[in-house]
Structure 1
Amino acid sequence: MSHRLRYASLGSGSSGNALVIEARCGDSTTRLLLDCGFSVRETSRRLERLGLTGQDIEAVLVTHEHDDHIGGVARFARRFGCPLYMSRGTYLSVLKHNTHSCDGLDVRFCADEQVFMVGDLSVLPYTVPHDAREPLQYTFSLNDLRLGVLTDVGHITPRVLQALSGCHGLVLEYNYDAQMMEQSKYPYSLKQRIVGEYGHLDNLMSQELLLALVHDDLHHVHAAHISQNNNQKELVQSLLEQALQPLSIPFALACQDEGFDWFEVV
């Protein structure tokens, strides 16, 4: 039976994040939305670029409760009747801010290392250090094909390395340039949150992670969650070229406005 795993970004950055993962196995198709930091109208508009509607989404997975990842999740799930997957900690944090935000929704809890199936997709949640209550990131598998996603992480742990090892496609955070962050006009407290152990990865930390994950069957890499104020696409592009061009591994950058189009995991 033929199978196909592909993914596309609706947008990635501090103003909103959403990633579509699609698995085709024979005549069966499964589509998931990882995070939804846009309004329902904007999410629908961005889905149209991929030839999809909200009704094509089978489930929404949530990484954590920050608004650029969860801002449109409840309304999207309510509009299109799809279940939500998140950690119990994320759920409790959401309720703390809005007691009735998940009323009537099909919320399903997931946790570190507890693999679950959505249609034909096998989903592995894994814990990451970030300033949220119980943040998770995910890898997605269809038979022998595997996609790994990592954004919103303050430092690299053995668990992160373990979860992402052997993936055929990677979406990795390249959030900020350390020198630009130091010179930025952000308030000191915000700078400390971003650069701290539970904040985000700078370019060089991300590059170190990528180099640790490169292997012969890695076929695509996308840089994501690139800061519009404290990073430059040219810097990220240069780092990816250094790491991947000698190995002939394709790569691209996920931007805030357009994300990126379909890429197939092979």
Structure 2
Amino acid sequence: MTAPILRYASLGSGSAGNALVIEARCAGQTTRLLLDCGFSTKETVKRLARLNLTGQDIDALLVTHEHDDHIGGVARFARKFGTPIHMSRGTHVSVLNHTHSCEGLNVTFCADAQPFELGALVVHPYTVPHDAREPLQFTFKCRDLHLGVITDVGHITPVVVQALQACHGLVLEYNYDAQMLAQSTKYPASLKQRIFGDYGHLDNKTSQELLLQLIHPNLHHVHAAHISQNNNDLERVRDLLEAALGEHRIPYALACQNEGFDWFEVR
């Protein structure tokens, strides 16, 4: 029997747009999901082409929450390619009267701690603290291969830690450096407070604390994601990843806004 394959690639990650492709191949079946779509359809198609994919190659869209950088392109992409959508009821309600409304599209609701199958993948939604109506993050399994994703979360909860235990690959938010955000002259006090808050985003220190809880002998790779272009420093993030993972010889990389990252296979 052919061994299963689970791989993933980022089309871009950050406040200007997010999209992650997850692909599983098992028992002659191939399934490709797009986790969030914060880019225009034209831009998404352009970025998919870098991975030798087209819009027709995407079997389903998963949505984490209703903020523009995650859902901005979902409805138009789904209408153009006939792609089914999976999101929480809260996310669906929040965009009913919005330009991102998915009314009339093929929408299936998912919820915390209710796994579901999509082709060769088993998708595990889990709830996170973020300033959205019913935000979810996801882990993905293909046989014994396990990928975990966590972005757009204000603080770490036991649910988050439990969901991400024993993953072979991790995509983990390192959103901002606390000192850089505090000293920023570009962001008003209200926006700073939102980001700093318990329902905002993860700062480097908190992300590092989470990562240290998730290291285990079979963790194969870590990608830092949703890195602020204004309030973080890529070298600081690399230094943190090296400090956490270097002695374990676990490879790591950064997901950037413009290029994302190329295919990486979970092992």
Structure 2 length as normaliser, TM-score?
0.98
What corresponds to 1:130 in structure 2?
130
The answer for the alignment partner of 2:37 in structure 1 is 36
1:68-147 alignment runs, 5 A limit: 68-98=69-99, 101-147=101-147
Cα offset, 1:102, TM superposition: 1.8
RMSD: 0.9
Letter of the structure 2 residue corresponding to residue 247 of structure 1:
H
In structure 2, distance between residues paired with 1:229 and 1:113:
34
Residues 28-47 of structure 1, C-alpha deviations (whole Å, 9 max, x = no match): 10000000000000000000
Which deviations, in whole Å up to 9, do the C-alpha atoms of 1:161-194 show, x marking residues without a partner? 0100010000000000000001001100000000
The answer for the alignment partner of 1:168 in structure 2 is 168
Cα distance in 1 for residues equivalent to 2:230 and 2:103: 36
- Higher alpha-carbon deviation: 1-10 or 32-41: 1-10
The runs of at least 4 consecutive aligned structure 1 residues that moved more than 4 Å come to none
Q: Structure 2 counterpart of 1:206, which letter?
A: S
Q: Distance in 1 between matches of 2:168 and 2:60?
A: 23
Q: 1: distance between equivalents of 2:235 and 2:64? A: 28
In the alignment, residue 163 of structure 2 is paired with which amino acid?
A: A
The alpha carbon displacement at 1:82 in A equals 1.1
Q: Measure, in 2, the Cα distance between the counterparts of 1:212 and 1:96.
A: 40
CA contact 2:145–2:266 (8 Å) conserved in 1: yes
1:51 and 2:52 correspond: yes
Distance 1:103 1:233 in 2: 39
Deviation at 1:104, TM superposition (A): 2.4
**Helix, strand or coil for the counterpart of 1:44?**
helix
The whole-number CA distance in structure 1 between the counterparts of 2:240 and 2:102 is: 41
More off after superposition, 145-154 vs 22-31: 22-31
Distance 1:216 1:232 in 2: 29
Q: Which residue does 1:240 correspond to in 2?
A: 241
Partner of 1:158: 158
Q: Map 1:211-230; keep pairs closer than 5 Å.
A: 211-230=212-231
Which SS does the other structure have where 1:36 is aligned? Answer: coil
CA contact (8 A) 2:175 2:201 kept: yes
Residue 131 of structure 2 aligns to which amino acid in structure 1?
D
Work out whether residues 177 and 204 of structure 2, in 8 Å CA contact, stay in contact via their aligned partners in 1.
Answer: yes
Return the letter of the residue paired with 1:261.
D
Other structure's SS at 1:97 match: coil
**Equivalent position SS for 2:95:** helix
Quote the Cα distance in structure 2 between the aligned partners of 1:104 and 1:133: 21
Give TM-score, length-normalised by structure 1: 0.98
Shift of 1:27: 2.0
- The count of corresponding residues between Structure 1 and Structure 2 is 265
Instruction: For residue 96 of structure 2, give the secondary structure of its aligned residue in structure 1.
Output: helix
Contact 2:96 2:103 (8 Å CA) reproduced:
no
